[in-house]
Structure 1
Amino acid sequence: MKKFFLVLLLSLPMQLWAETQTISVQEVHQALISEQGIKGTLVDVRTPEEFAAGHIPGAINIPHKDIEAHLATLSPLEKEGLILFCRSGKRAGYAIEKLKDAGMSNLTHMEGDMKAWFAAELPIETP
């Protein structure tokens, strides 16, 4: 019985992912370089140090641990959409869960996160 509840508990984040829209790094890059630009706000939920080491042009940095403290900032941006990512997906999932708990729904996860962005050798900004 304990094993059943553990499996159920561990599967909850996967269910949240299943309900979240996704976008590929190539789609994000194409939107950034197109005349129309990206629809929505890119939200990098990595640490400030990771963000400073290289981030997607135009992205804002709100570390996943601080996401709830920035609901007032993110709420008006959600109308156009929020595209969340981290290094590999775990922290983005946490941030998406917290934003959904706050009633936000126009959320998209960038598939592959920054690992995929770096692997594709797409452009980054540094301070």
Structure 2
Amino acid sequence: MPDITASELHQRQQAGETPTIIDVREPWEFEESRISGSQNIPLGNLPQQLDDLEDLKDQEVIVHCKSGTRSSAAKAFLTQQGFTNVRNLEGGITAYQAK
């Protein structure tokens, strides 16, 4: 699946869409700022949370972090676990907040 730009995500949210967004930053980062509707699962906790995400395997899942590095790793991990529609937010929350 191709990654998603901050502009595309903004447009979809403004159109009323509520995509599944997973923030893979640490809890303290999530507390400081977050994308509305996102859930926080730190990258290091993803393996333990797989059972909770099972229902999302064939749905679009957008992952993000601060700049895109950790979420790239999250996308690769989830894809290896059989998730078929994982998209990384290009530039992370930094790009999203700049919009």
**Is TM > 0.5 for Structure 1 vs Structure 2?**
yes
Please identify runs of 4+ aligned residues in structure 1 that moved more than 4 A: none
- Which residue number in structure 2 is paired with residue 94 of structure 1? 73
Alignment partner of 1:56 out of 15, 20, 35? 35
Per-residue CA shift, 1:43-70, capped at 9, x if unaligned?
Answer: 1100010001010000011000111111
SS at match of 2:66: coil
Q: Does 1:25 align with 2:37?
A: no
Q: Does 1:34 align with 2:1?
A: no
**TM-score of the aligned structures, taking structure 2 as reference length:** 0.90
Q: Distance in 1 between matches of 2:12 and 2:52?
A: 23
Displacement of 1:118 in angstroms is 2.1
Matched pairs, number? 99
Displacement of 1:23 in angstroms is 1.1
SS at match of 1:103: coil
Show the 5 A alignment for 1:1-127.
20-35=1-16, 37-38=17-18, 40-120=19-99
**TM-score of the aligned structures, taking structure 1 as reference length:** 0.72
* Paired letter, 2:59: E
Q: Which moved more, 1:91-100 or 1:45-54?
A: 91-100
Displacement of 1:73 in angstroms is 1.4
**Percent of residue pairs bearing the same amino acid type:** 32
Displacement of 1:103 in angstroms is 1.5
Q: Distance in 2 between matches of 1:109 and 1:44?
A: 10
What is the Cα-based RMSD across aligned positions, in Å?
1.3
Structure 2 unaligned spans of 5+: none
User: For the pair shown, which has the larger CA radius of gyration, 1 or 2?
Assistant: 1
Displacement of 1:88 in angstroms is 1.0
